[in-house]
C-alpha cells in the first residue's frame, strides 16, 4: 500500500510515541495520511501533527486502511462507538491495548482483520520490543504494514498464537518493572552496606542502564557478558553463588513470570465475558 490512510485513536504515551515515529516518515516524504482522535493533545505534538497535514479530531471521517487503537483498555467499548466511522469492509485494526483479545475487538467493531500487539514502556524512546499476533483473516501484507507502523517503538516480534500473549505480557510487557525493581533493591543493598542513599541510587541506576546498553551495543548474550565480569574466586562469583542458589533469582523469576501470566489470563477471561 503506497500511502495508507491511518486513523489513530488515542495519542497518549504509546499512541504519542507511535505517531512521532510516523511523523518522521511523513517528513521524509513517504509514509501515510493521518487522522488522529485525542481529546487531550500534548500541545507540541498537536503543532507537529498540524504542520504535517494530519487531520485532528474531525467531526466526520471516511473508512481508513488501518485504525490503530492506543487508548486504555477499559475505555475501548465506549470509544469504539465513536471510532466506527473509520471502519470499512477493508479496514485493518491494530490494537496496542493490553489484554483486549482479538475476539473482543472483532465483535465490538465488526472486523475480521485484527492485529493485537503488546508494546512495553521503553517504546516511548524507541527502545522497546512489541510482540504481536494477527487474526487468521490477516494477509502477509497486513502483518508487514502493522510491523512498519509498530517500528517507532523499537523491535517487533511476531507471535504465532494469541494464547502466548499472556506469557509475552508477563515477560516483555511487565518486564521493565522487574528491571526497575532490580535497580531499587541493588540501591537498597548498597545503602545497607554503608553507602549514602544518593550515591547508592546513582551507582545502581547507572549499573542497570549501562549493563543494558552494553548488551544492546555488543549484541553479546547475557550469559557471555555475565561470564566476562565473573573471575573465579572473585567478588562477583561470591554474589552469584547467592543469586544462582536454590532460593535465588531463577526460581523467584520463574514464579513471578508464572504469576503475571496467570493474572493476564484471568484479566483476559474477565474482559471476554463483558
| From 5, 7, 92, 97, residue interacting with ligand NAP (rule: CB under 6 A) | 97
Which CB atom, from 72 or from 227, has the smaller least distance to ligand NAP?
72
Instruction: Measure the CA–CA gap between 212 and 216, rounded to whole angstroms.
Output: 6
Which CB atom, from 135 or from 174, has the smaller least distance to ligand NAP?
174
Strand residue runs (E) in 105-264: 114-118, 128-134, 154-158
3-state SS class at 264: helix
Which CB atom, from 139 or from 164, has the smaller least distance to ligand NAP?
164
Report how far apart the first and last C-alpha atoms of the chain are (Å, whole number): 35
235, exposed or middle or buried, with CB in 10 Å at 0-12, 13-18, 19+?
exposed
Stretch that binds ligand NAP, among 66-74, 102-110, 158-166, 248-256 (CB under 6 A): 66-74
Instruction: Measure the CA–CA gap between 193 and 83, rounded to whole angstroms.
Output: 56
Instruction: Measure the CA–CA gap between 188 and 243, rounded to whole angstroms.
Output: 16
Which CB atom, from 152 or from 173, has the smaller least distance to ligand NAP?
173
Which CB atom, from 10 or from 31, has the smaller least distance to ligand NAP?
10
Neighbour tally for 60: CB within 10 Å? 5
What is the footprint of ligand NAP within residues 118-177 (CB under 6 A)? 118-121, 173
The distance of closest approach from Cβ of residue 83 to ligand NAP in the complex, given in angstroms and rounded to an integer, is 7
Which CB atom, from 116 or from 200, has the smaller least distance to ligand NAP?
116
Instruction: Measure the CA–CA gap between 188 and 169, rounded to whole angstroms.
Output: 27
Does position 4 interact with ligand NAP (CB under 6 A)? The reply is no
CB 76 within 8 A of CB 97: yes
| From 6, 7, 15, 171, residue interacting with ligand NAP (rule: CB under 6 A) | 15
| From 96, 133, 167, 260, residue interacting with ligand NAP (rule: CB under 6 A) | 96
Does position 18 interact with ligand NAP (CB under 6 A)? The reply is no
Q: Which residues bind ligand NAP (CB under 6 A)?
A: 9-15, 37-40, 70-73, 75, 79, 82, 96-98, 118-121, 173
Amino acid at each position: 500500500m503506497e500511502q495508507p490512510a491511518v486513523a489513530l485513536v488515542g495519542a497518549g504515551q504509546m499512541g504519542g510515541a507511535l505517531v512521532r515515529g510516523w511523523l518522521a516518515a511523513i517528513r521524509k516524504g513517504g509514509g501515510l495520511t493521518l487522522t488522529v482522535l485525542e481529546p487531550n493533545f500534548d500541545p507540541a505534538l498537536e503543532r507537529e501533527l498540524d504542520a504535517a497535514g494530519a487531520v485532528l479530531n474531525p467531526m466526520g471521517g471516511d473508512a481508513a486502511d488501518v485504525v490503530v487503537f492506543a487508548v486504555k483498555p477499559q475505555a475501548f467499548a465506549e470509544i469504539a462507538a465513536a471510532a466506527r466511522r473509520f471502519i470499512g469492509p477493508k479496514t485493518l485494526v491494530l490494537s496496542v491495548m493490553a489484554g483486549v483479545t482479538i475476539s473482543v475487538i472483532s465483535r465490538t467493531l465488526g472486523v475480521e482483520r485484527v492485529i493485537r500487539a503488546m508494546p512495553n514502556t521503553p517504546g516511548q524512546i524507541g527502545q522497546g520490543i512489541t510482540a504481536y499476533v494477527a487474526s487468521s483473516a490477516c494477509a502477509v501484507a497486513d502483518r508487514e504494514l502493522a510491523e512498519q507502523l509498530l517500528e517507532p517503538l523499537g523491535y517487533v516480534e511476531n507471535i504465532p498464537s494469541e494464547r502466548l500473549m499472556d506469557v509475552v505480557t508477563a515477560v516483555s510487557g511487565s518486564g521493565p518493572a522487574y528491571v526497575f525493581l532490580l535497580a531499587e533493591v541493588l540501591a537498597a543493598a548498597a545503602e545497607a552496606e554503608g553507602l549514602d542513599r544518593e550515591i547508592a541510587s546513582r551507582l545502581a541506576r547507572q549499573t542497570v542502564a549501562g549493563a543494558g546498553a552494553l548488551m544492546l551495543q555488543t549484541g553479546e548474550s547475557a550469559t557471555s557478558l555475565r561470564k566476562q565480569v565473573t573471575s573465579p574466586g572473585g567478588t562477583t562469583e561470591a554474589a552469584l553463588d547467592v543469586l544462582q542458589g536454590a532460593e535465588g533469582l531463577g526460581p523467584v523469576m520463574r514464579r513471578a513470570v508464572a504469576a503475571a501470566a496467570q493474572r493476564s489470563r484471568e484479566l483476559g477471561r474477565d474482559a471476554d465475558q463483558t
